[in-house]
Structure 1
Amino acid sequence: MVRKLIFLTAFSLLLTYGVEAAGKGFAIVVDQSTYTACKAEIDAYSTLLEREGFSPSLLSGEWKQPDELRQQLHHLYLHHQLEGAILIGQIPVPMIRDAQHLTSAFKMDQERFPKRDSSVPSDRFYDDFDLRFDDLGSDEEEPLLHYYSLRGDSPQYIQSDIYSGRLKPTRQGEEGYQQIRSYFRKLLLEREQQNPLDVVVAYTGEGSFSNSLTAWRNQGMMMREQIPAAFRNKSSAKFLFFNMYPYMKELVTEQLRRMDLDLMLFHEHGTPDRQYLTALPHTKESEEQMEAGRRLFRQALRRAGDVQQQEKLKQTWMELYRIDTLWFAGADDPKQRVADSLLDLQTGIVLDDVPLISPNARMVIFDACYNGDFREERYIAGEYIFADGKTLATFANSVNVLQDKSSTDLLGLLGLGFRIGEWAREINILESHIIGDPTFRFAGDVADQVDLRTTDTAYWLALYNKADHPDLKGLALHKLSDLGYPGMAEFLTKAYNESPYYSVRLQAFLLLQLYGGDHFAQLLEKSINDPYEFIRRKSVYAMGAIGSDHFIPYLVKIYLDNYLDERVHFNVTFTFDRMDFDAMEAEMKRQLDQNISYPDKEKVWEEFQHIFASRKRIAAMANDVTNREKPLKSRISAARMLRNNNYHKQVGDYLQVLTDTSEDASLRVALAEALGWFNNSYRREEIVAALREVAAQPQASQQLSNEINKSIARLEHFMQ
């Protein structure tokens, strides 16, 4: 097999060997300084890829902006069968703006907050060539960061053409080069092993899934379908919960150090520099409870800063809780500060812990916010792969992420021998990234029998029908949907109704949302009672996203009967203000009166009234959109609020504002963007018609037209 070496400058593409190889392409992208310092290790990695059937291309250069590199990767994709890429060292970081609908949860106000904070670091810029962007320039203080705005004429969904991984060191200079050299050395050693995916540990931190034991229990049932080899004994699959011990850090550390650990999955809250495992432990003794309270007061006082603010807080707390100053003692005591700090460290894993732990999990998934934020010099996911253990790849998020996101979609593919990149390409979002080698895979021969490149729908239909593994069936459903298989809505409905597998039903459920008609809405009447808690949870959310009053009886029943499904119950409350208020309240009263299982119906009714009133107050804030007496700032804020709160009944009022040329242009832009989030609404066709009307107005600004085009593309993607 002919090896291609490609050396790049900012202005040229020089092929050292011009012979096009027959194998699948893979780009090793590295800045020139890093390549010079780590040449032997990077070349050894390239040789390994050749042995595995790749035709590797080495792209070494200094890129001033991401566009140059993107063009070169696109060239390799078009002419050299490029399958994936690894970005090594100081490779420009695309900072994506005006694309928050491509994330799971990120909705930071781009006007109010600094550009660096309100943008999404994302390598989808490099691996999805159909996306189109406007160049907004680089960051003056951090030239590695380069800003882009998603264009209105771009696709408004992600469908990556290649997969990618980042290998950005967490140290500077020679220390950083040594990290990369050491990483490739351990990678080469581990890749010599034929290691199956058969040892898995999952940890659920405090605050994840509303601390629901039902949600925690169901993930084990799901993963047993996906990775059956890991369920052979009591140690090969472990599912840990935050309150098994007061502090779980030591136990988690022990698991991470296991020499046989293949996959570690964290469900937790996070920041670039911390994994939050637990909070203050639950206590039974009164003295322990009081000390926990005193610790919280001390922490709050230290965050307050100046003495005047501290005194104000003390007075407020003493009046509110009827306590004395002894509760605040020690806040400024250096010894007490150290003691509190040590206890705080027990509640999570911080950056400096990771090298000491030396994690051995070959792959780690961080279902958490910001743990993969590679715009930062140091970040949790990077520390894991550069530690001395055996961790070779992590999958993490560069910004915050939705808790109600399925973090194990198609995960069973990894146990069948698919490369991490092949798996991630099917399920990635704007913020999710492989940190490390995307070509790494566990032992398994099933993947070699699947042709991921084929566009033949007959092939994927046959695979769905004959595959034994549920995630192979799920993969086939994704491919059939991507290829526009005729009658896909009916096919997905049939797949959901007939499959005994949690994972197949979940993929059918998720994909069916992309199709118009009544198929998905009708499915919800059944999926609301699915045995898999996550499907029930998402069904509740989807009923609110559609907004039809038809769902009111179903939602009320779930609220009254499924209170032990904490996350499902929690999600129901967010639908209370999406439908007719009076009808929702009347149905709640009717079912509660008929329900003989509640010993204290008055208390249940009071709790509902309290939640209902709260949701009504939130909904009332959205009325500012149409209120010309309110300040423009308040109206724009209310419009942006609609992204998280789809108030379907008021759509007609919003459209009047949108189509009114006398309204402020910035308000109309914000409203046009917000209406694009109504992608499951029963009124979406009405919204699209109004957007088209505004787009046809000759006086529509370029900014407004751009936002309208984005929203139309998003809404019509859900009406195919």
Structure 2
Amino acid sequence: MDSCTYAACGDAISLYAESVEDSGLRTMTLVDNWTSPEQLRSVLYKAYLDEKLEGAVFVGDIPIPMIRKAHHLCSAFKMVEDPDDMFNTSVPSDRFYDDFGLEFDFIASQDTLGFSYFYYNLCGDGPQEISSDIYTGRIKPTFDGEQGYAQINAYLSKLVRIKSEHNVVDHIMSYTGSGSFSNSLVAWKDESVTLEEQFPDAFRSSDGARFYIFAMYPFPKDTLRKELARTDLDLALFHEHGVPDRQYVSDNPPVNGIGAYYEDARRRIRSQIATQLRYGHPEEETIAALKAKYDLDDSWFSDLHDPRTAKADSLYDLKTGIVLDDIHRWNPNPLVTIFDACYNADFREKDCVASSYIFGSGRSVVSLGNSVNVLQDKSSSDLLGLLSAGYSVGQYAMMTNILESHIIGDPTFSFTPSDSSVPAPDFHNGDCDYWLSVLENDVRTDVRGLALYKLHALGYEGLPQLLYEVYSESGEYMLRLQAMHLAAYYSGTNYKKILLAALDDPYEFIRRKAVYFAGRTGDPVFVESVARMYLRDYTSKRIRFNITSTAPFWGPAALPDAVEALIDSSSVYADKQAAKERLVRPLRDGMSISESVRKTFSSAENLQASRFYVSVLRNMPYPFLTDKVLEYMADSSLPIDLRVQLAEALGWYVRSDTREGIVERCRALLSAQGENMSPELKDELYKTVNRLEAYLR
């Protein structure tokens, strides 16, 4: 903590330290006027080596590292790194402090919003995957000065009281907001299965587990207010869209009746105008465009500047989201809240959703969320069941960290296992035989998932075959998911065998990700199975989206032709031509981007004229373009910044069958030209090699 915070909150900090020691951990208090992240990182690293430091909590004004050139460590963040707007184009991340293997180059420091921010590039010649050595959390007040110190004192007092209780995870609530999972009920329904695997105690009473989705109510906000007021709520999960100061919980609800249709349409038109004005478009031009698009007359805009209309629209909008003022009034009670959303834990800001939850007078003590935007198609509950086994929030987070994920609050907080006679396995044990025994004998799903991750980290040689056996034999959704995740890091045939089986897995998320991963390999062995999956799972929105966007990875015709052949040979479709129009045409139309990229890479002239399509490879690393990307990247006649961009694009081929060849050719280029190569290109090539080699174990 900083010295001013310690002077104002020392007594509360001492009581908190005692509560941590009551859980069996030793504590040390580090107080300084921290002038840079490097200063604190070196102290933490020394404590890790000398004192076996397990974790750290940052209280008060602790320097904020802002990370650049590390998009591959994020789930979704790929914003252009504008040097004139480093604040908004960097990722605030405490991986700087808790992963000692990552290496960084300092760029600059800036004072913004009253805090000091320190900007770093991730180095290419160090590790390119996150493997946190300790866990971290932040207790950063949302007010300055005395008000901020009062917040910290009140929070720590509440925390010490709650840590002395014995809370089993037997009451949970999950909410899925508008736009999450493409509003797919097929994707939503499986969470009741996965959470029962992870928190079985919550499924032993009528009110132990509650599941909500935005479509259940016109405006679900008030229902959520009542849920967050429950004093028995242990864990709340929000799957939603978000910004630092808002949870987007619902959209405009459907309306009935001609009058209601008309008023709803006018409100949506006003909303479109407001959006365009925020983007700097003139009002007159916006109105003219809307008139032309929808054939509207002036009556649609007659009350556009009426203060009563503006007030009504504002109140209507507030009914669709939870904002900071709501949280400050509600004082939420879930002990732990998980925000599967963008920006809700953006601790760059003075205040954010995650911080407001824990600093209220309610029982909330821990928030887990993201400091920037986050991928929708990711599993937000991997290994979450470790909490029900008695592991701390920090230990759980260590196993699932991405660059943007953070703990706001106490990382040492833990729940009480329902059966005290079954202790949690030793988190720090470094023996493969120990974790093999846990995998074989423990009945808790995510404890066995933890065993797989520990075996992976310890380099257990038999893991690829073991992962295949676990996937093939396990009846548990979450354990099969972890086996599929880990298998990607290994060469050999087991990964593809798992993916082929996963295309028909009962868990929608496994099927959804399996088709995504299968496409990235570029292997045509998957085409027939994916074609059958497309017809079978067509009503599953997220699966259909992933198949349509993945189809180009096998070339322009492979998957559409396979689907067409299945329709031709089927007796299900009465009108086969209509079926092809409805089912095959979207696949063929979906080839437009890949064909534009292919055309761009057909010549150096096209490539230099259309650099946007190089950036497309970050999301769509088409295997059939590997040789072209390598060719142009090695071409010394091309601009160096373009070659660096191409080298970076190659780093996204982590799941491609071409990744081993990419590593060989990048290493050959480094060996032949390394001494005379530009530092930027050299760094990016090392980064790409290290990224791909992590998936070639």
Smaller-chain TM-score range? over 0.9
- Letter matched to residue 515 of structure 2: V
Alignment-derived partner of residue 13 in structure 1:
none
Decide which moves more: 175-184 or 105-114. Answer: 105-114
Say yes or no: does 1:265 pair with 2:219.
Answer: no
Matches of 1:368 and 1:601, distance apart in 2: 42
Structure 1 match to 2:672:
697
Paired with 1:329 and 1:369, the residues of 2 have a C-alpha distance of 36
- Residues 1:147 and 2:119 are matched in the alignment: yes
1:389 is aligned to 362
Do residues 568 (structure 1) and 540 (structure 2) align? no
Matched, 1:627 2:600: no
- Counterpart amino acid of 1:634? S
Asked if 1 retains the 8 angstrom alpha-carbon contact of 2:231 and 2:333, the reply is yes
Contact 1:528 1:540 in 2 (8 A): yes
Superposed, which structure 2 residues align to 1:595-614 within 5 Å?
595-599=570-574, 601-608=576-583, 610-614=585-589
Aligned-partner residue type, residue 628 of structure 1: A
Say whether the 8 Å CA contact 1:165–1:437 is kept in structure 2.
yes
| Pair 1:597–1:310, CA change in 2 (3 A) | farther
| Aligned counterparts of 1:401 and 1:543: Cα–Cα separation in 2 | 22
2:563–2:584 Cα contact (<8 Å) kept: no
Please give the per-residue CA displacement for 1:65-92, whole angstroms capped at 9, x wherever unaligned.
Answer: 1000000000110001100100011100
Equivalent residue, structure 2, for 1:349:
322
After superposition, the C-alpha distances for 1:166-195 in whole angstroms (9 at most, x for unaligned) are 111111111111111110111111112111
Deviation at 1:564, TM superposition (A): 2.1
Are the aligned partners of 2:528 and 2:562 in contact in 1 as well (CA < 8 Å)?
yes
- State whether residues 99 and 130 of structure 2, in contact with CA within 8 Å, keep that contact through their aligned partners in structure 1: yes
How far off its partner does 1:236 sit? 0.9
Confirm or deny: 8 A CA contact 2:172 2:233 kept in the other structure.
yes
Alpha-carbon distance, 1:311 to partner: 2.1
Q: Is the 8 A contact 1:659 1:693 kept in 2?
A: no
**Distance change in 2, residues 1:701/1:326 (3 Å):** same
Q: Which amino acid aligns with 1:629?
A: E
Opposite residue 365 of structure 1, the aligned amino acid is I
- 367-376 or 515-524, which deviates more: 515-524
Q: Which position in structure 2 is the counterpart of 1:239?
A: 211
Report runs of 4+ in structure 1 exceeding 4 Å deviation: 446-449
Conservation of the 8 A alpha-carbon contact between 1:658 and 1:694? no
Q: Could you tell me how far 1:604 is from its partner in structure 2?
A: 3.9
Per the TM alignment, residue 328 of structure 1 is displaced from its structure 2 partner at its CA by 2.3
Q: 1:358 aligns with which of 326, 331, 334?
A: 331
Bigger drift between 359-368 and 608-617 goes to 608-617
3-state SS in 1 of match to 2:28:
strand
1:694 touches 1:700 (CA, 8 Å); kept in 2?
no
Task: Give the superposition deviation at 1:309.
Answer: 2.3
Please say if residues 298 and 330 of structure 1, whose CA atoms lie closer than 8 Å, have aligned partners that are also in contact: no
Question: Are 1:274 and 2:249 matched, yes or no?
Answer: no
Provide the C-alpha distance between the structure 1 equivalents of 2:319 and 2:137, rounded to a whole number of angstroms.
Answer: 31
Alpha-carbon offset, residue 197 of structure 1: 0.7
Q: CA deviation at 1:616?
A: 2.2
Closer/same/farther in 2, CA of residues 75 and 276 from structure 1, 3 Å limit: same
Work out the CA distance in 2 between the residues paired with 1:482 and 1:504.
Answer: 17
The aligned amino acid for 1:91 is I
- Residue number in structure 1 paired with 2:9: 38
What's the TM-score once normalised by structure 1's chain length? 0.93
Change over 3 Å in CA distance of 1:193–1:597 after alignment to 2? same
**Rounded Cα–Cα distance in structure 1 between residues aligned with 2:399 and 2:210:** 26
Q: For structure 2, which runs of at least 5 residues remain unmatched after alignment?
A: none
1:406-425 map, 5 Å:
406-425=379-398
Q: CA separation in 2, counterparts of 1:302 and 1:476?
A: 52
Alignment of 1:74 onto 2:42 = no
Tell whether 2:63 aligns with 1:86: no
TM-score normalised to structure 2 length: 0.96
List per-residue Cα deviations over 1:639-683 (Å, max 9, x = no partner): 121010111112111111012111111111111111111101011
Note the C-alpha offset of 1:55.
1.4
Q: Displacement of 1:634 after TM fit?
A: 2.8
- TM-superposed CA distance for 1:338, in Å, is 0.6
Show the counterpart of 2:555. Answer: 580
Q: Aligned residue for 2:344?
A: 371
What is the CA-CA distance between 1:455 and the residue it aligns to?
0.9
More moved, 585-594 vs 158-167 = 585-594
The answer to whether the Cα contact below 8 Å between 1:398 and 1:431 also exists between their aligned partners in 2 is yes
User: Retained in 2: the 8 A contact 1:298–1:331?
Assistant: yes
Note if 1:224 corresponds to 2:177.
Answer: no
Q: Deviations over 1:310-355 (max 9, x none)?
A: 2222222222222222222322111100100000000010111101
Structure 1 residue identity aligned to 2:132: S
After TM superposition, the structure 1 = structure 2 runs for residues 468-617 of structure 1, keeping only pairs within 5 Å, are 468-599=443-574, 601-608=576-583, 610-617=585-592
Contact preservation (8 Å) 1:543, 1:551: yes
Q: 1:179 aligns with which of 131, 145, 151?
A: 151
**2:304 alignment counterpart:** 331
Alpha-carbon shift at residue 116 of structure 1 (Å): 1.2
C-alpha distance after superposition, 1:348-407 (max 9, x if no partner):
101111011110000000000110000111111001000111000010001111111111
Q: Retained in 2: the 8 A contact 1:489–1:515?
A: yes
Aligned partner (choices 406, 427, 444) of residue 433 of structure 1 = 406
Name the CA shift for 1:479/1:447 in 2 (closer, same or farther; >3 Å): farther
- Contact 1:265–1:365 at 8 Å: present in 2 too? yes
Q: Does 1:169 align with 2:141?
A: yes
Aligned to 1:712: 689
**Cα pair 1:624 1:638 within 8 Å, conserved:** yes
2:378 to 396, 405, 409: 405
Alpha-carbon distance, 1:581 to partner: 1.1
Q: Deviations over 1:595-629 (max 9, x none)?
A: 33345544443344553354322113324245333
Per-residue displacement from partner, 1:209-267 (whole Å, max 9, x unpaired)?
A: 11111111101111111110001222110010110011110001110110100000000
Q: Give the one of 137, 152, 164 matched to 2:108.
A: 137
CA drift at 1:632: 3.5
Pairwise CA RMSD: 1.7
Distance between the aligned counterparts of 1:396 and 1:427, measured in 2? 12
Q: Where does residue 294 of structure 2 map in the other structure? A: 321
The CA distance in 1 between the partners of 2:119 and 2:41, in whole Å, is 14
Distance 1:288 1:601, change over 3 A: farther
Deviations 1:459-484, CA, capped at 9 Å, x for gaps:
01111111111111101000001000
Tell me the distance in 1 between the aligned counterparts of 2:239 and 2:57: 26
Return 5+ residue gaps in structure 1 as ranges. 1-29
Q: Deviations over 1:2-60 (max 9, x none)?
A: xxxxxxxxxxxxxxxxxxxxxxxxxxxx1111111111111110121222222111011
Taking the aligned partners of 2:470 and 2:21, their CA distance within structure 1 comes to 39
Q: Which residue in 2 is equivalent to 1:48? A: 19
CA distance in 2, matches of 1:66, 1:188: 28
For 2:127 and 2:344, locate their aligned partners in 1 and report how far apart those are by CA, in whole Å: 28
What is the aligned length?
A: 690
Distance 1:204 1:603, change over 3 A: farther
1:293: which partner in 2? 265
Matched, 1:118 2:89: yes
* One-letter amino acid of the structure 1 residue matched with residue 404 of structure 2: E
1:394-423 per-position Cα deviation (integer Å, ceiling 9, x unaligned):
100011111111111111111111111111
Q: Percent identity?
A: 42
Whichever residue aligns with residue 610 of structure 2, its letter is S
Contact 1:417 / 1:446 at 8 angstroms: preserved in 2? no
Determine helix, strand or coil for the equivalent of 1:407: coil
Q: Could you say which residue in structure 2 is the equivalent of 1:25?
A: none
One-letter code of the match for 2:311? V
Letter in 2 for 1:162: I
The answer to whether the Cα contact below 8 Å between 1:169 and 1:176 also exists between their aligned partners in 2 is yes
Once structures 1 and 2 are overlaid, which stretch shifts more, 141-150 or 206-215?
Answer: 141-150
1:318 to 1:533, Cα distance in 2 relative to 1, 3 A = same
Q: In structure 2, give the amino acid aligned to 1:243.
A: A
The CA distance in 2 between the partners of 1:186 and 1:705, in whole Å, is 51
Whole-Å Cα distance in 1 between the matches of residues 604 and 397 of structure 2?
Answer: 47
